[in-house]
Amino acid sequence: MRLTFWSLVKGVVFLWLLWIPRFEGQFTNPQTMPARALDATLQDYAYRAFVHPRTGIPYDGVPPANLNGIEISAMRLRSGSLYHRGVETFREFRIPVGLREQPYVERLILVYQNLGNWSSTYYSLPGYAHLTPVLGLLAYNGSDLTAVDLPELDLWASEKAMTIKFEEVSPVPAGLVAKCAWFDLHGQVNFTDVVNENVCLTTEQGHFTIVVESAAAPEQEPPATVEGHPEAPSKKDKDSWVWGIVGSVCGGVALLVLLALMIVLVWKYKKRKKMRELERAADAGEALRMTRVGSILRAPYALPTRTMPQFEINLGA
């Protein structure tokens, strides 16, 4: 029974581990996965612009034909030079001294993105309207210029904030206030104040835009979807996402309840087994011990009683 019990426990744990990735994935922003796939594609095409690369010089890349309207550029830098000197201008970005990356690499590459008319497709915000295109700045390892699907470096400004000066800003409707929106690499959205009408500040990499809050803001018409290109999730997909969370939670609770019931059943089984062993021992009685008589014969004998018999002596006349 012990072997069977542990086999069942391992099976329950295995099923639980299968649920965990699905459960965690349900909390990801629905826009995150298509946007992350776009980042990987643009990194590949930006690296292709390096034919005879020179340090500190931006090279404009050419995105695939099905992403017409997106602009990309890449700049290769030494980590030490970036930290001590910064970058005065890289398209709309001004990078101050003190920029750090983790993990440390000797050379890194900054990839610039301007999503243009694809901005609302990959970074839509319900209740908000984009006043500018979405601009991206991501850092990658620059040791291998042919590498693809590279993970981003963790990049942050340790002394002064980076500035983003947007060149194309739509007028702000009367009575509304524009906000800077920063999308980090985990799909979270952060809002800050706009500086001088077209400048946003940031201490980390990611994607940036200026938006205006408007409950009645019309949804921008996304570009036509090209075959093979990921499209933004529909309302049906979002509903499935919510039900996926509910199903994952219910499945996890059910597995935990099943494991608890198994533990209780095994405990009761062992308790009943022990009681039966005690009952059999009581019915059989205590076996007599054996002793040697002479040099060959063995015979049973009983232990002496603890209390010796008392004899009454009548001293009467």
Query: What does each of the 317 residues of the chain score in pLDDT, given as a tens digit?
Result: 444 555 555 555 555 544 444 333 333 344 556 899 999 999 999 999 998 889 999 999 999 999 999 999 999 999 999 999 999 999 999 999 999 999 999 999 999 999 999 999 999 999 999 999 999 999 999 999 999 999 999 999 988 999 999 998 999 998 899 999 999 998 899 999 999 999 999 999 999 999 998 754 444 455 544 444 444 444 555 555 556 676 777 777 778 888 888 888 887 888 787 777 776 766 665 555 555 655 555 655 555 555 555 555 555 54
Instruction: Answer whether the bond into residue 103 is a cis peptide, omega within 30°.
Output: yes
- Helix, strand or coil for residue 290? strand
Residue-level pLDDT at 289: 56
Strands 87-90 and 128-130: unpaired
Q: What is the DSSP letter of 195?
A: B
Distance CA 131, CA 110 (A): 25
Task: Please report which residue ranges of the chain form alpha helices under DSSP H.
Answer: 2-25, 32-47, 79-85, 119-122, 235-284
Residue-level pLDDT at 310: 59
The model carries a pTM of 0.60
